[in-house]
Chain A
Amino acid sequence: MSFDFERIWKGKRALSERLAARPLAEKLRMLDALRERAVALRAAGSQPAVKVREAQPPYGKPR
């Protein structure tokens, strides 16, 4: 399997441009919908969450 990242990137850019060009009232309705979803996800995430953490890089440690 191979991915054409250039094509994927172009597709994402095109989608961003299309969304940015939508009428203001429609974009604000999208914000309403995005927030509703975010609030619902937060409420669902009240169970113990799985934490992902990166190890601290060894800055300044002597070798």
Chain B
Amino acid sequence: MKIEEVLRTVNQMTTDRVIERYAIGGAVGATFYLEPVSTLDIDIFIELHTTPGAPLVTLEPVFHYLRARGCRMEGEHIVISDWPVQFLPPTGPLVEEALTNAIELDVGGISARVFTAEHLAAIALQTGRAKDKARLLQFIEAGALDSARFEQIVTRHNLVDRWRQFQRQFLEG
């Protein structure tokens, strides 16, 4: 069970042009900036090579590539090196922007493309589940955010009301 193996596999998928690019999000993405938090799966956002005029974005090329390399499907996940991985196409402008602006980090000699801390925090604000709010608080308490950059993202993606509400609920008083 090794995340490093997952990174190697996803990097190879980029080299083999199965995917255009990728970025790690969710709890694993947050671990690049914060203390590690237990998680059962890995969220990898991907941009696929698209054929002009093709009506649908399908993940089948990804699954086909990985199944041919011995990976198995488990519900919505595909299991790579014992880690269930969820490949997610961008679900909206915020995630698209996060994917474009993701940064490349070195993990013991292996390259990893990860959402910026500010985009991870903004996505947590947008998603808004209890665990996402907890993660946003972690980013704030750890001083891991460039607040100007975060507020620009929040403004650009119409999350100002949510941000004000979050501030009232958790940061004031």
Could you list which residues of chain A lie within 8 angstroms of chain B, going by C-beta atoms? 13, 15-17, 19-20, 23-25, 27-32, 34-39
Contacts and interface: CB of A to CB of B under 8 A. Distances in A.
Given A25-B4, A28-B4, A28-B107, A35 B39 contact: yes
A38 B27 CA distance: 15
Q: Which of A20, A30, A34 has the most CB of B within 10 A?
A: A20
Contacts of B37: 34
Contacts of B4: 25, 28
B108 interface: yes
Contacts of B3: 28-29, 31-32
| Closest A-B pairs by Cβ, 10 of them | A25-B108, A19-B35, A34-B38, A30-B36, A28-B3, A20-B35, A24-B107, A16-B35, A27-B36, A25-B107
B1 to A, nearest CB: 5
B36 A31 contact: yes
A24 B105 contact: yes
Interface of B: 1-4, 28, 31-40, 83, 105-108, 112, 141-142, 144
A27 B31 CA distance: 7
Contacts of A28: 3-4, 28, 31, 36, 107
Contacts of A32: 1-3
A35 B106 contact: no
Contacts of A17: 35, 142
Contact of B36 (A34, A36, A38, A39): A34
Contacts of B142: 16-17, 20
Given A16-B35, A31-B36, 4 more contacts: A19-B36, A20-B144, A23-B108, A28-B3
